Structure 1
Amino acid sequence: MKKKIVSMLLASVMVMSLAACGSTQAPAATPDAGSDAAPATETSAPADSATDTQATSAERQTITWSVIDLNAGVNATGEYADQIMQQIEDFCGADLELIWYANDALSEKNSLALTSPSTMPQIMSWGGTVTGDVVSAAKNGAFVDLNNYIWDSEKYPYLSQLSKDVAANLTVGGKLIALPRTRVVGRYGLSYRQDWAEKLGVELPENATPDDVYKMIYAFTYDDPDGNGKNDTIGMEMTSYTGPFDIIQTWFGCGNGWQEKDGQLVPVWTTDEYFEAVDYIKKLYDDGLMPADFYSRPTDSWSNGCKTGENGVYIDVLDSGKRIWQYFEAEDTLTPSVVNPDEPAKMVLYGAVNGHTLATAGYNGFFTLSATTLDTEEKIEAALTVLDRLCSPEMLTITQYGLEGINYQYDADGNIEDLDADTENSDAVALANNYKGLNQLLTFLPSSESSTGAIPVKSDKFSEAQNNAYAEALQYAEVNPALSYLVGSDTYSQVGADLDSQVTAARTQYICGSISLDEFKSTLDSIRSQGYDAIISEVNAQR
C-alpha cells in the first residue's frame, strides 16, 4: 500500500491549557477517559475484524485531514503503520491523507489554510475552544453546517449523540461548525503527595478550605517533608502556564471565567471574590510556596517537580496527579514513601476545595469540515462517516492499541494487555510508533465517559482512584455560563483572545509584585474600555 501520511511539521512542544488539557503520552498500560489515551468497553471486537465490516460505496473518497502532532514527528511510522492505516481506511470507507501540524505551529498553520479556501484540508484539527479566527471564518461560510447532517442517528450513530450543551458552544450564527474532542467535565482539581502530608500531619480533611491547602503547602515548603535536613522543597508545582490559578479562583466562589451577578453575566475579574482569590495566590508566591521563577518555567516539564521531590502539590487535571503516582511506583523510578520506605510514595487525587473546582468546557480541541474542499454531498458524508466510525470499539482499539498479536493481546479475562508499553525498550517503542498519534483523530463521542466502556482494559488502583476523583469533582465543577454566548459575540471574536491574555498577564504581574493593586485594577479598567464592556453587553444581549 502506498503510504498516505504527509509530514509537515517542526519539533513540537506540548503546551497544557485549561481547555486541556488532555495529554498524549507514549502508550501506557491503562488509559484514562480524560486524556487522549484509550477509552474502554466490555464488548469490543478485535481491530483485525475491521475489514469484515468495511463501508461500500460507488466511489471511495479521499479525505485530507490536518492532525495535531504531539509526538515530534513520530506518528504512525514503522513496519506495521501502512497495515494499520489500511484497516482504518477500509473500516471507514475512505482513503485518508493525514497532514501533521506541530502543536505549537497549529494556530499559524490553520490561519494560513483559511487564506486559501480552495486548498484547505477537508477536515481541520483545532486546539482549545471556538474563538477568534474560527468564529470569523465561520461567519464567512468557511465550514460545513453540521446541523444538516449529524443528527441523523441511522447514518451517524455516534456523532448524533453529541450533547446539545456542548453543541451550543460550537455554534456560530445558528450553524454547528465543529465536532468536539470530548473531555470529562469534572477533570480539574488538586493532587498532593500523601506520604509528605501524613508525615507532617497536614492531610486535607473531607471539606478542605483554602486555609487548609495553604497550611499544607507551607509545611511542604518549610518543614522538611522529605526528611533530608535540607531546604530543598517548594510546596506547590507551578510553571508559565497559569491555569492552576483559574482553579484556585473557583475556591473563593468567583466562578469559571464568567459568573452571574445581579442578573447579568460578567467576567470573574470584575468581582470582589476574584481579588480575594488573587491575593491568596499572591500570598502563596510572597511566602515562597511556589517557584519564584514560575513564569519562565517551561510547561513541558511541568510535573517534574513532583516527580523529583521538589514539590508536593499539583493543581490541574486529576489524571496528571495519577500519572505522577504511577511514576512513583514504576520499577525504574521507584520512589519510597518517607513514612514507610518499604512502600512507594503515593499521590492523593483530591479534587474540589471549599466546594468548588473548575469544569472543562466538555471538550478540548475540535474538528471543522471545509465548505470549499468538501464541495459535494458525497464528500461531506464520507468525511462524517470517517469521524463517526472512528468512535466504534474497533477503531478506538486500533488507533490507540495497534494490532492484536503485535501491539497487544487479550489476557485470560478478555482484557487488553499491552505488548509495547515499555518506553525504555527500543523495540517496544518502535512497535508503538506504528499507531502513535492516531488517537488525535478521535472525537470520543458521544462522550469521554461513555467511551470509557469501549475497550476491555483491566482496571487498577490508579484508574479507579482517577475515576472516583472525576466523579467527586463533577459534583462541584463550575461551568462557564457565558461560553456559548462568547461564540456569538462579534467583539470577542475580534479582540477577546488578546484581551483575555492581557488579563492573565496583569494577574501574573500583580502576583509577582511587578505592579501594585491599584495598577492592576487600572489595567483591568483599561481592558474593559478596549472592548470588554462591549463583549459584556453582547453576551448579555443574547440571553
Structure 2
Amino acid sequence: MKKVARKARKTGALLLCTTILLLSACGGGASSNQAASGEPYDENSKANISWLNILHTASPPTDTILNKIEEKTNTDIQFSWIPDASKEERINTSLASDSLADIVTLTLLDNSSVRNSLKSGLFWEVEPYLNDYPNLAKISEDTRRSASIGGTLYGVPFQKDLARNGVTIRKDWLDKLGLETPHTTAELMEVARAFTEDDPDGNGKDDTTGFVDRSDLIYGAFKTLSSYFGTPNIWEVSADGKMTPEFMTQGYVDTMDYMKELYQKGYINQDFAVTAKTDQQQKFAQGRAGIYVGAIFDSKNLLNMAKGIQDDMELVLVNDITSTGNEADRAIWAANNGIGGLLSFPRSEVKDEAELKRVLKFVNDLLDEDVYALMTYGIEGTHYTVDDQDAATITNTDLWQQEVQPFSASRPKESGFKIHDADPLKKESDKLIADNANYAVLNPAYSLESETYNTQGSELQKTITDATYKYILGELDRAGFDAAVESWKKSGGDAIIAEYESAYKEVQS
C-alpha cells in the first residue's frame, strides 16, 4: 500500500502505528512540509494529515476510496487504525505516551483517561472556530453542549442518530415455526427457545441458538434489553435531584436475570462474554442464530454477509418491545445523547492556530455530500448505482465491504444527506430509528462533571461490569452482586453520586 511507504513525522507515532496495524501508517502534520521550508501557511494548500482512527471491520480499507477522499479534500491522509475490540486499551496507551496524530478519534467520552486528557489542555478547544466553516456551523447548540466536557468543546462531535438500537430477527425462521413477531420480552424469550430447540433451519441438527451476542454490555444486547425492562440510561435523576446509577435499579437486575435465563437454557451463544462483534455478525450470517440485538441498521450488513451462505434469509426489524406489553412503557436508550464521540486535535501535533484551521477545513470537507457518498456507498458505477430519486444501490457487495465499509464509522455525521439507501432493510431501519427518537431515554449526567469519575470512573465501572457478567454466567448470586455494588460505592461511587448531584443542582439553578 502506498500509505505504508510514506515517512511518518514522528518516531513515536510510527512505533504506535506499527504496533496497531502493519497495514496502516501514521505521521504527517497538517503543515509539516511548509514548516520545514519556512513558507507561510496557506489554508487552501494541500495538507498532510495523520488520523488515529477506530477500525470496525476485520481489515483496513485499500486505497481506492482514500485516494478519492484525498482528491476531494486536497489532502494526503495517513491513517493509523485501532481495532474496535482493543480501542480502550490502545487509546489510553496513546494518550499516556503522547503518541497521537493530527486527528484522534475519541469515542469513549465517559472514559476517565479520555476526559482527563481533554480537560488537561492536551487538545484544542474548537467551538470558537466552528462557525467559520459552512458544514461545521450547522452543528446544533444542543449537540455542542452535549459533546462538551465541563462546558468546553474539545473536538468536532460525531453526530449520530439519537437511538439506533432494536432487534433483528430471522423472519423465515419465525414463519417456518409458525411464530409471530415478538413485542414483549416474554415473547422474545419464547422465540429464543424455539430457535434453539425446534430446528428452525430444518437440517435435523442441534446447531442453532436464539440469540447471538458479543462481549459488550453497552452496544451488545444487554443495554437494549435493559431499556425494555425500564432501566434508566446510565443514570437516573429524581424530581428532587437525587442521582441513581442504572445498576442500582430493579430494571438492571431484571435484565441480568433475563440474560442469565438465556444463558442457562442455552438460548444464547455460550461464548458471548468473549465474542467480538465481527464474530457475532458472522455467526448470525452463517445461520447459527436468529436474534441479533444491536444497531437496527446492522440488518442490511447481516443480510449482505449471508449471501451465498444463507440465501433464503429474511429479516424483520422490531423496535417496540416492552416487558409489560404496554405502549406507554416503550423506551430505548439514547447512545451518548446522540454523540458518537469527538474528532479531537492534539496540541502536540497540531502546533498552532493556522494548522488547526487547516485540519478543521478538512473535517468540514468530510461533511460535503460527495465525500459522504464516497464514505458510505463508494464510487458510482463501481460500487453502486443511483436512481433519479437519489436512492443508492450497492452493486458489488464484496468490493464495497473491502474498499468502502471501513470508512463508514469515520463519517462525522451519519444522516441528513440527500443521497440515501435504496435497500428495503435500510429504509425500514431508518424509519424505525426515526421512530425511536420519540421514546429515547437520555443520560441526565452525560455533560455533567465529577472529578472522582474522571479519575476513578473507568476502574470503578470494571467492578460493575465484571459482577454483571459473573451474575449472568451463574458465578455470582444476588448477594455477591450487591456486595460488588457496595464495593463500588465505598471505593468512590458515593463521591461520584454526590458530585453529579451537586453538578446537576448547579445546572438547574
Aligned 8 A contact 1:181 1:363 in 2: yes
Provide the rounded CA distance (Å) in 2 between the counterparts of 1:404 and 1:215. 44
Aligned residue for 2:243, secondary structure, equals strand
- Deviation, 1:253, is 0.9
Q: Which residue of 2 aligns with 1:197?
A: 174
- Deviation, 1:279, is 1.8
Q: Which residue of 1 aligns with 2:11?
A: none
Q: Which residue of 2 aligns with 1:277?
A: 255
Provide the rounded CA distance (Å) in 2 between the counterparts of 1:539 and 1:227. 54
- Deviation, 1:110, is 4.0
Aligned match for 1:449, one of 402, 415, 418: 415
Aligned match for 1:209, one of 173, 184, 202: 184
Aligned residue for 1:373, secondary structure, equals coil
**Structure 2 unaligned regions, length at least 5:** 9-13, 23-40, 323-329, 505-509
Aligned residue for 1:176, secondary structure, equals coil
Q: How does 1:83-482 map to 2 (within 5 A)?
A: 84=68, 86-90=70-74, 95-104=76-85, 106-115=87-96, 120-150=100-130, 152=131, 155-204=132-181, 208-242=183-217, 243-261=220-238, 263=240, 264-328=242-306, 330=307, 332-335=308-311, 344-354=312-322, 355-361=330-336, 362-403=338-379, 416=392, 421-423=396-398, 428=399, 433=403, 437-439=406-408, 441-444=410-413, 448-451=414-417, 453=418, 455=419, 457=420, 459-482=422-445
Aligned partner letter, 1:478: V
Aligned 8 A contact 1:224 1:231 in 2: yes
Moved more, 462-471 or 126-135: 126-135
Aligned 8 A contact 1:506 1:520 in 2: yes
Structure 1 position 65 matched with structure 2 position 34: no
For residues 164-189 of structure 1, give each alpha carbon's deviation from its aligned partner in whole angstroms, at most 9, with x where no partner exists.
33323322232111222222222111
- Deviation, 1:268, is 1.1
Aligned partner letter, 2:107: G
Distance 1:489 1:380, change over 3 A: same
Aligned residue for 2:335, secondary structure, equals coil
Provide the rounded CA distance (Å) in 1 between the counterparts of 2:381 and 2:303. 30
Moved more, 262-271 or 2-11: 2-11
Let me know the Cα RMSD of the aligned residues: 3.2
For residues 40-88 of structure 1, give each alpha carbon's deviation from its aligned partner in whole angstroms, at most 9, with x where no partner exists.
xxxxxxxxxxxxxxx975766544332334456643436x865x25413
Aligned partner letter, 1:375: K
Q: Which residue of 2 aligns with 1:40?
A: none
Aligned 8 A contact 2:226 2:252 in 1: yes
Among all aligned residue pairs of Structure 1 and Structure 2, give the percentage whose two residues are the same amino acid. 25
Aligned residue for 2:415, secondary structure, equals helix
Provide the rounded CA distance (Å) in 2 between the counterparts of 1:251 and 1:212. 12
Q: Which residue of 1 aligns with 2:507?
A: none
Provide the rounded CA distance (Å) in 2 between the counterparts of 1:210 and 1:109. 37
TM-score, normalized by length of structure 1? 0.76
- Deviation, 1:307, is 2.4
Structure 1 position 512 matched with structure 2 position 473: yes
Provide the rounded CA distance (Å) in 1 between the counterparts of 2:100 and 2:304. 41
For residues 399-453 of structure 1, give each alpha carbon's deviation from its aligned partner in whole angstroms, at most 9, with x where no partner exists.
445555655565677655656x242xxxx579x64x6745454311xxx3313x2
Aligned partner letter, 1:234: T
Provide the rounded CA distance (Å) in 2 between the counterparts of 1:105 and 1:286. 29
Q: Which residue of 1 aligns with 2:34?
A: none
Provide the rounded CA distance (Å) in 2 between the counterparts of 1:186 and 1:278. 22
For residues 447-487 of structure 1, give each alpha carbon's deviation from its aligned partner in whole angstroms, at most 9, with x where no partner exists.
x3313x2x3x55132222212221233322322222112xx
Moved more, 497-506 or 256-265: 256-265
Q: Which residue of 2 aligns with 1:533?
A: 494
Provide the rounded CA distance (Å) in 2 between the counterparts of 1:61 and 1:77. 17
- Deviation, 1:367, is 1.0
Aligned 8 A contact 1:260 1:266 in 2: yes
Q: How many residues align?
A: 465
Aligned 8 A contact 2:393 2:422 in 1: no
Provide the rounded CA distance (Å) in 2 between the counterparts of 1:304 and 1:481. 35
Provide the rounded CA distance (Å) in 2 between the counterparts of 1:70 and 1:535. 32
Aligned residue for 1:64, secondary structure, equals strand
Aligned 8 A contact 2:236 2:246 in 1: yes
Distance 1:11 1:58, change over 3 A: closer
Moved more, 269-278 or 402-411: 402-411
Aligned 8 A contact 2:234 2:246 in 1: yes
Aligned partner letter, 1:194: K
Distance 1:115 1:411, change over 3 A: same
Between the two structures, name the one with larger relative contact order (CA 8 Å, sep ≥ 6).
Answer: 1
Aligned residue for 2:211, secondary structure, equals coil
For residues 83-114 of structure 1, give each alpha carbon's deviation from its aligned partner in whole angstroms, at most 9, with x where no partner exists.
x2541343xxx554444444455445544544
Distance 1:245 1:134, change over 3 A: same
Aligned match for 2:460, one of 485, 488, 499: 499
Aligned partner letter, 2:108: G
